[in-house]
Structure 1
Amino acid sequence: MAAESKPQRKRQTKAEKRAETIEQILDVAEYLFSRHGLYGVTLKDVAKGVGVHHTLLNYYFADKQELFDAVFARRAAVTSERRMKALDAYDKASGGKPTVEGALRAFLDTDLDLYIEGGDGWRNYGALSAQIANTPQWGAEMMDQHFDPVVLRLIEILGKALPDASKEDIFWGYHFVSGALMVTLARTGRIDKLSGGLCKSDDYAAVKARMARFMAGGLKTICDNRPE
C-alpha cells in the first residue's frame, strides 16, 4: 500500500512573507519598548529578538522612531474603533437617556476586554500606553492623535447623562478615569505588595468588575457637589 502523501503547504507570496516579518518585528519591539521605553531600546536589540540582522529592520522602518510609532498605532487603531462602536451602540440603545456608569462601561469595559482576552501582546501594549500617556514631551501628542475622537465621544455621552454638570467637571472626571486606567495598564505590581497578594496587577477581570462603577460614583459626586 502506497504511503499517503502529505498535503503540500501553500507557498507564501512575497506580500505574505513581508507582512509576517513586519508582525514579528512589531511584536518584539512592542515587548522591548513596553519594558525599557523608547530610549532604552535600539534597533539592534529588536533585530536580535527577531533573529535577523539589524540592517533588515532598516528595510522596513527608516529609524527607531518610525518603528515605535508603528508599534503604537497598530493596536491603537483597534481599541479606538472598538470603543467608538461600543459608545455609539450604547448611546443609541439608551434612547437619549444614558447613565454615567453605562457610558463608562462602554468605554472602559470594551478596552479591558482586549487585555483580558488578547494575551501577552495586548498586555505589553497596555504597559507601553501607560508610559506614553505619562511622557509630556511627546506622549501627549501621540495620545491626542490616536484617541481624541473616542474620548470626546465619551465626553459627549457623559454630558447627556449629566445635563446640569459643568463641562469643566466632566473633563476633570475623564482625567481621573484616564489616570486610573493608565496605572492599571502599567501593571507595576504595587497593589500586589500593598494588599499582600490579595489583589493582582494583572487581574483585569477584577478591575473590570469595579472600575466603571467606582468612577461613575466619583464623577457624579463632583458634578453634584460643585464648589462655589
Structure 2
Amino acid sequence: MMEQILDAAEYLFAMHGFYGVTLKDVAKHVGVHHTLLNYYFDDKKNLFDAVFSRRAVVTSERRMRMLEEYEQACAGKPTAEGALRAFLDTDLDLYIEGGEGWRNYAALGAQVANTPEWGAETMDRHFDPVVLRLISILKKALPDCSEEDIFWGYHFVTGALMLTLARTGRIDKLSGGLCKSDDFVAVKERMATFMAAGFVSICKQRRGQ
C-alpha cells in the first residue's frame, strides 16, 4: 500500500506540481480514504519528501559509485567528458531503463530544482556530496581552468539536464518532430560530449584573456 501511495503521489506531483496536488487527490488516485494518508503522513510536504527521497538515494548512490570507479580506472588522468559520462549517463540510464515511475521522478526533480522557496535546500540535502565529487574530478581533468569556471560549467550542465528531465515537449514542436523530449537515449549520446566541449572551450578562452 505504501508503494502504491508513493507511486500515485509521484505521478500527480510530476504532472501538477507540489501546489497542484492535495492529499485527497492522492487518496482518490489510489482508491483509499484520505484519512489513511493522514495516518502515514503529517502533511503534504511530508509525503512529497518521502516521494522524492525514495529515488534520490538510488540515483545519488549510483552516480557516486560510478564516479569513484571512473576515478580509479582513469589512473589519475581523468577527462571532462569521462567525468560527465559517469555523472550524466548513469543518471540517464535510470530514466531509459526504469520505466514510467523513474520518468515521473525525473520530471519531479526538474520541478524541485526550479522551486526557489525550498527546492535548493532539497537538492542540497540529497545531491551535494555527489555533485562535489564530480567537481573534484573536473578540477583534476582541467587543472588550468579556474574554480569559478568549473562551477559555472556545472551550473550549465545541471540546467540542461533539468530541462531535459522536465519533458516539456518544446523541442518536439521546435524540431517539427525530429527530436523527442522523452528520447533519453538521444540525450545520452550527445549531452556529455557537448558539455565537455563547453568546459574545454570556456577554459581556453578565459586563459587567453
State the TM-score, normalizing by the size of structure 1.
0.90
Q: What does 1:50-61 align with in structure 2 at a 5 Å threshold? A: 50-61=30-41
Matched AA of 1:58: N
Match of 2:12 in 1: 32
> Which residue of the partner structure matches residue 110 of structure 1?
90
Out of 157, 176, 187, the position equivalent to 1:207 is: 187
- Counterparts of 1:142 and 1:219, CA distance in 2: 27
> What residue number does 1:89 align with?
69
The yes-or-no answer on 1:42 pairing with 2:22 is: yes
Q: How far apart, CA to CA, are the structure 2 residues paired with 1:36 and 1:134?
A: 14
Quote the Cα distance in structure 2 between the aligned partners of 1:191 and 1:132: 21
Aligned AA (2:45): Q
| Residue of structure 2 in register with 1:165 after alignment | 145
Q: Which has more helix, going by share of residues?
A: 2
Q: Deviations over 1:44-88 (max 9, x none)?
A: 000000100000001111111100000000000000000000000
Query: How far has the Cα of 1:179 moved from its partner?
Result: 0.3
Write out aligned runs for 1:75-86 (5 A): 75-86=55-66
Q: Which runs of 4+ in 1 moved over 2 A?
A: none
Distance (Å, rounded) in 2 between the aligned partners of 1:186 and 1:219:
24
Tell me the C-alpha RMSD between the 2 structures.
0.7
Shift of 1:137: 1.1
- In structure 2, C-alpha distance between the alignment counterparts of 1:69 and 1:223, rounded to whole Å: 38
| Offset, 1:153 | 0.1
Bigger Rg, structure 1 or 2: 1
Q: 1:223 Cα shift?
A: 1.1
How many pairs does the alignment contain? 208
Q: What's the offset of the Cα at 1:136?
A: 1.1
List aligned pairs for 1:133-212, cutoff 5 A: 133-212=113-192
Q: Unaligned regions of 5+ residues in structure 2, if any? A: none
Q: Which residue of 2 aligns with 1:122?
A: 102
TM-score by length of 2: 0.98
